Amino acid sequence: MRRITGTEQPGFLFHPMEVVAVEGDTCRARLGELEIPGIRLAAIEGGASGGLLLKPAVGSIVLVADLSCSELRECAVVGYSEIESLTYRHGDTSVEADGNAVSVAAGDMRVKVTAEGVEINGGKQGGLVLAPALRRSLESIRSYCTTMQQAVAAGLSGVGAGAAANGPAGAGIFSERMAAATITLEDLEDKKATH
């Protein structure tokens, strides 16, 4: 190349290569029959720790810049035919995305979104409460308590003055009033949004 350009200056070369493997922030790619390890996915060494890191799909074609001027010692990917995933880091904030999920982290807070739902901080705290179901469940308890209060009052008044409150007359009236009373507790957990 130097002879063609008529200079003795080294030049950068670009090579299309097939990705064989991805390891951290580097990949291994094939140029003809030669397999080259340690090709950086970020042009700046260590640049993946603070910035954008695109990971190519294995088997895809990447355009590799030979920064060592045709010695294939320092290479970096500068173009992609297919991206498997991406990671963006800035300070204590990161975003990761692939074909199945998107995760966002800021400090100790982490949110993951998939087709199955939203997960907050790993989902270790269980699902978020479904407010409408909680309201219906609490209304059911309130209704049951109101019915029980009325049944006790009716049972006591049915016993009569001076009679034992645990007699058959009071128990019959109480049982009759409570027969239709139920407590309904719905599933209150939204399993698609966990925290």
- Domains: count for the chain: 2
pLDDT of residue 182: 75
- CATH number for the domain including 92? 2.40.50
**153 shares a domain with 89:** no
**146 shares a domain with 92:** no
Bridge partners for 34 per DSSP: 31
| Domain with 56 in it | 2-97
Asked whether residue 156 is assigned to any structural domain, the reply reads yes
pLDDT of residue 179: 78
| Crossing angle (nearest 10°) for helices 131-159 and 168-178 | 160
**40 shares a domain with 93:** yes
| Helix (H) / strand (E) containing 93 | strand 93-98
Asked whether residue 106 is assigned to any structural domain, the reply reads no
pLDDT of residue 62: 96
pTM reported for the whole predicted model: 0.61
**93 shares a domain with 132:** no
pLDDT of residue 17: 96
**Whole-number Å distance between alpha carbons of 170 and 94:** 67
Asked whether residue 118 is assigned to any structural domain, the reply reads no
**55 shares a domain with 7:** yes
pLDDT of residue 164: 57
User: Parallel, antiparallel, or unpaired for β 127-129 and 189-194?
Assistant: antiparallel
Asked whether residue 112 is assigned to any structural domain, the reply reads no
**75 shares a domain with 6:** yes
Q: Are 50 and 63 in contact, with CB atoms under 8 Å apart?
A: no
Asked whether residue 105 is assigned to any structural domain, the reply reads no
**Whole-number Å distance between alpha carbons of 98 and 86:** 7
Unique residue bearing structure tokens 């989902």 = 123
**72 shares a domain with 21:** yes
Asked whether residue 123 is assigned to any structural domain, the reply reads no
Asked whether residue 110 is assigned to any structural domain, the reply reads no
pLDDT of residue 42: 85
**136 shares a domain with 84:** no
pLDDT of residue 80: 95
**149 shares a domain with 63:** no
Q: Are 22 and 48 in contact, with CB atoms under 8 Å apart?
A: no
**83 shares a domain with 7:** yes
Asked whether residue 132 is assigned to any structural domain, the reply reads yes
> pLDDT (tens digit, 0 to 9) for every residue of the chain, 195 residues total?
455 555 565 667 899 999 999 999 999 999 999 999 999 998 777 766 778 899 999 999 999 998 887 788 889 999 999 999 999 988 889 999 999 999 999 888 888 999 888 888 777 666 677 788 888 888 888 888 788 778 777 766 766 655 555 556 666 777 777 777 777 777 766 776 665
**25 shares a domain with 70:** yes
**80 shares a domain with 141:** no
pLDDT of residue 101: 93
